[in-house]
A and B are shown apart, each in its own frame.
Chain A
Amino acid sequence: MALAEDSGKGRVRASLPPWIKTTILTIGSIAMTMLGLLFVTFIIGRVMPIDPVLAIVGERASQSTYDAVFLELGLDKPLIVQFGYYIWDVLHLDFGTSLLNARPVSEDIARVFPATLELATLGIIIGIVIGVPLGVVAAARKGSWIDQVARVLALVGYSMPIFWLGLMGLLIFYGILGWVGGPGRVGIFYVDVVPSVTGLILVDAALDGNWDVFKNAFSHIILPASLLGYFSLAYISRMTRSFMLEQLSAEYITTARVKGMSEWDVIWKHAFKNTRVQLITVIALSYANLLEGSVLTEIIFSWPGIGSYITTALLSADMNAVLGGTVVVGLIFILLNILSDLLYRVFDPRAK
């Protein structure tokens, strides 16, 4: 630790290295963000016109049963005290028990989050692999047929209800053609065949060397992932096109062309290179949205993910589950933000 002398008053004080200051600020910012997020979610849960006790005991339980559960949930205490207890438990990594299935919320999240992670990751990969080149080509060939196709694809992606598209996808590729597996993460004969190590069935099957399970799981994930991928690529390709058009109209691109540089190099080595920082933000946001869980996709494909878990919990005032899910989703956003910041520094020398 460096020591710096305060020349004005002759005192000596510790000056922290910049990276430590940054780390402390980042952690403090994460903590405050999470606290705020939890507080708002907690209050929303408590002001909703739903009685969480009824969600547990049902509408016909006796008054004594109702009262016992009311006390058990600590609902007799002031809101701020309830929130304090909750935060204390969370700091001890105890998210409480789900009211809807009487199991620890942490166990539920460990079960549903990998399902969403697997689906979202494959979805964003599809979105990037197709969306970025499509956006680049659409910008480079502005006004051409490929640009028109890209714009129509993006427009359809924005405007088509995912519910309808998912059902149509299932009808055609599963019901009629039989090319993909149906709803669920894996076929009924492959359930629990490979040991769960990561919770990601594709990874677990590969680790176990069970390629039948891998193939089956892939056949089940490919359609919902493509669906999510399509919606991501609609956004990614549109934004890529826009960033590229901005770059391609810049003077340095004209200079490069005048110097006789090939069009390939102009587009990919110069223009595209300068869109990377903006693209990182777009991709990170898209990925974060997918990781929140796409509720409708999860419902259509019977995908036991975090989106439908939080939604079901919210509708039944299962606040332990909602808050647990909120912590995870909040952390994802924060981590992806941090990751974006780090990547900025890698790709943009000015940020260093």
Chain B
Amino acid sequence: MKKILVVDDSASIRHVVSIALRGAGYEVIDACDGKDALNKLNGEKINLIISDVNMPNMDGISFLKEVKKHPRYKFTPVIMLTTEAGRDKMEEGRMAGAKAWVVKPFQPPQMLDAVAKLCLP
């Protein structure tokens, strides 16, 4: 089963996204910020990362830079969550290797479609 890591400081977003992903046939690990995510990953194989940009402790872009250093996650696709206002961060994220963006607020089907384009269950 394909495994997806969901990183967001909002518990409700994590919850909704996780339910949707599990319903579509993915396994989900969730984390509340970059630091938490790195701890939970612990070298485990995953197929896709969904990460918010603005988070306490370690923000999305720093997390991305960090996680991409690990040989295991070098090729792992990343979907970044952003808001309409956060578009200026996109270039920075792009440089760090994030190619897919989903703008908040989004509906679960939208998120599932974006996930499917990069990694079908």
Are these two chains actual partners, yes or no?
no
- A residues at B contact (CB < 8 Å): none
- B residues at A contact (CB < 8 Å): none
